[in-house]
Amino acid sequence: MTTAHATLVRWLVDPARQEELLGDLEELAGRGTGRFWLDVASVCMRQSRVVAAARTPSRLAAALAVVAALTLGSTAPTLRTVRAVDPAGEFTLEFAGARVVGATLDGAPVPPHRLIQQPGRLVIRGGGDAGNDLNIRLASNGAFYWRARSPRPTTRP
């Protein structure tokens, strides 16, 4: 279960029911994404403190619309930036879900045309040793692996 799922449940669900519902969803997190979202959304809608607080049909309809919008909106992938270091220096990768949407090398943004993404693999053109490509393997669990680059020769003034 991601932080987004847990935050959504904590925000929407009756606090008295959160422990067992979050625990159940934790057990169900290995299901397919669509199926898991069905369970998260159904719990948010049917155990919602927002819906419970609405006593008239119009307020209930408004509350359901808010819950639905929040549930659908939270399916947007969250951005995370991962910093990596090897002997040549530092680089970062910015992920939207499992997809890399940005990168930096030594603090400088890498232009999009130098980022080549394929299933399970990312290439940063010219990001490796001696101007070669930096090849990065992307694992399904969000980790990534690369061959450490060599230290750069120090330049003399």
Where do contacts with another protein occur on this chain (CB under 8 A)? 17, 19-28, 35, 38-39, 41-47
CA-based torsion, 69, 72, 74, 76: positive or negative: negative
What is the rounded CA–CA span in Å between residue 11 and residue 37? 16
Least spacing, CB of residue 111 vs another protein, in Å: 41
Q: Which is nearer to another protein, 71 or 110 (CB)?
A: 71
Are 118 and 127 within 8 A, CB to CB? no
Least spacing, CB of residue 62 vs another protein, in Å: 20
Least spacing, CB of residue 17 vs another protein, in Å: 8
For the record, the structure tokens of 33 come out as 């994404």
For the record, the structure tokens of 126 come out as 């010219």
Q: Which is nearer to another protein, 12 or 134 (CB)?
A: 12
Q: Which is nearer to another protein, 1 or 101 (CB)?
A: 1
Are 63 and 51 within 8 A, CB to CB? yes
